[in-house]
Amino acid sequence: MSSKTETKPMQAQPITTEAKPRKGRPPVRDEDDRGAFERWIEASGMTRQEVAAKLGIGKSTLFSHLRGDRLPSLEVAVLIEEFTGGAVPPKSWIKK
């Protein structure tokens, strides 16, 4: 005897560009503070991959910093400040 289970079609979920907390953790930066480094990257005309390579960090690490999932180490925050000519100081990563 076989029983047939009805399956419902999956509904498409809307695509959002919001940073989502991962593993139950809140983002380490506020959405308002998305800002300085990501805006600098956009204005520079460089890709995120190029920026990661020039900083000597992995692109997934850079993406985690930009999403606010992870704070850069002090060493990386200082590298970012130097790389951006002071436009993104280490204190910009501190949650207010």
pLDDT tens digit sequence for 17-40: 455 545 555 444 444 455 889 999
Residue 23 has φ and ψ, to the nearest 5°, of 55, 40
- What pLDDT shows up at residue 93? 83
In a domain, 77, yes or no: yes
Q: CATH number, domain at 68?
A: 1.10.260
Which tens digit of pLDDT belongs to each residue from 27-76?
444 444 558 899 999 999 999 999 999 999 999 999 999 988 889 999 99
Q: How far apart are CA 73 and CA 49, in angstroms?
A: 19
Is residue 8 domain-resident? no
Q: Residue 50 is part of which domain span?
A: 31-93
- Among 4-8, 58-62, 79-83, name the one with the lowest average pLDDT: 4-8
Q: How many domains does the chain have?
A: 1
The 8-class DSSP code of residue 29 comes to S
Residue 35 inside a domain? The answer is: yes
Does 41 map to a domain?
Answer: yes
The answer to whether residues 18 and 67 touch, using CB atoms and an 8 Å cutoff, is no
Q: 12 lies in a domain?
A: no
pLDDT at 4 over 80: no
